[in-house]
Amino acid sequence: MTTSPTANRTEALSDLAVDNFREYLRIPSVHPDVDYVPCVTFLQKQATSLGLPLKTYYPAKPNKPVVVITWQGTDPSLTSVLLNSHMDVVPVFEEEWTHKPFAADMDADGKIFARGAQDMKCVGIQYLEAIRVLKTNAWKPKRTLHLCFVPDEEIGGEDGMKTFVTTADFKNLNIGFSLDEGIASPDETFSLYYGERAIWHLEFHCNGQAGHGSLLHENTAGEKMRVILDKLFDMREEQKKILENNPEMTIGDVLTLNLCILQGGKQSNVVPPEFWCSMDCRIPVTMNTKDLYKTFESWCAAAGKDVTIVKEQFEEIIKPTELNDKNAYWVAMKQATDALGLKIKPMIFPGGTDSRYLRELNIPALGFSPMNNTPVLLHDNDEYLEKHVFLRGIDIYCRIIPALANV
């Protein structure tokens, strides 16, 4: 394809895309206890309007659907391209919002406010609407395209993509490459993610002498917890300085540690027998995880006896997707974005997405959300996406999708 089919995108298609986006945002697929049935119903309607078949899989639980809409390629013997997105969104603190978080209000400036506007219902709809434009322009893919809508990405994907990739149904999709979410960029560049940090959620349990709060007991849990917290925040400060002193680095290139839970004690005059804390740790792909864990064990030893680590979540580093001439999908995507004049900034994703489950199977995967000059508002109050940014994203996918499908 030498020219973008978006040249023939009509105003009616733009209006339909915005209407579909806002309808999808109004579905409160919010944790905890997400009801995915309205999402499935909505996607069935979209598949019918596109004349494409839809299958719903339940790889883990009957209330955790994986929806796949398929556009068969002209050469189905080739490996297929997966266009992945998740249906779920994170909780909201409605009192902190100036718009109802599931009303999908659009203000006079074209800002569409809703939970999921950036993360990531926008991308799911942009895939669908790009395909609508491509079909309207009589274009056909060489490789089969699978649009996948998964549950529970925001809570680790245990009952979603993590389980789905282990099934025969996933294997039968014959995936050769996956495109998934990225993050908005506040400047003119577009962020592109080719790898992710490993996620560790660790609990440090400190046990010690209990007793009356008026005495100076030896070997208390609080004293031990102080050692752990001092070392945690010292390491955190070291990583902050590394990031500050290296302007070419991004947050995905350093180790992040954050204290998220601190608990212990029931009464202000009783020294408790235990304190425990939970730490969120994100490990860059350049770091040795065995050495890091030994460091954490040394913290426990320095704190004293009866200090232990509980592994709540403990992932290994997964090899990033290569960005070189050996990766034909990267070459195709780079050519497509270059043709559009986009400034792409490759990075390691700071959090975790479903792409890690694909990369673990040696399937190349890239994370990309076509939102630049846009404040990063995922998981934030008053999350929004501007209408013109949303529509331009459809145009961008109208160039990227054909490039990937024709590899």
For the annotated catalytic residues, the residue numbers are: 88, 153
Rounded to whole angstroms, the Cα distance separating 279 from 261 reads 7
Q: Which phi and psi (to 5°) does residue 134 adopt?
A: -60, -40
Is the four-CA dihedral 150, 153, 155, 157 of positive or negative sign? positive
End-to-end CA distance of the chain: give it in Å, rounded: 12
308: helix, coil or strand? strand
Q: What is the 3-state secondary structure (H, E, C) of 132-175?
A: HHHHHCCCCCCCCEEEEEECCHHHCCCCCHHHHCCCHHHHHCCE
Contact, 320 vs 348, CB < 8 A? yes
**CA-to-CA dists, residue 231 to 98, 224, 261, 393, angstroms:** 40, 11, 16, 44
**CA-to-CA dists, residue 16 to 115, 134, 135, 348, 377, angstroms:** 20, 15, 15, 34, 25
130: helix, coil or strand? helix
Contact, 195 vs 330, CB < 8 A? no
Angle at CA of residue 271, ends 270 and 273, nearest 5°: 120
Rounded to whole angstroms, the Cα distance separating 399 from 4 reads 6
Rounded to whole angstroms, the Cα distance separating 106 from 294 reads 51
Alpha helices in 26-120 (DSSP H): 37-50
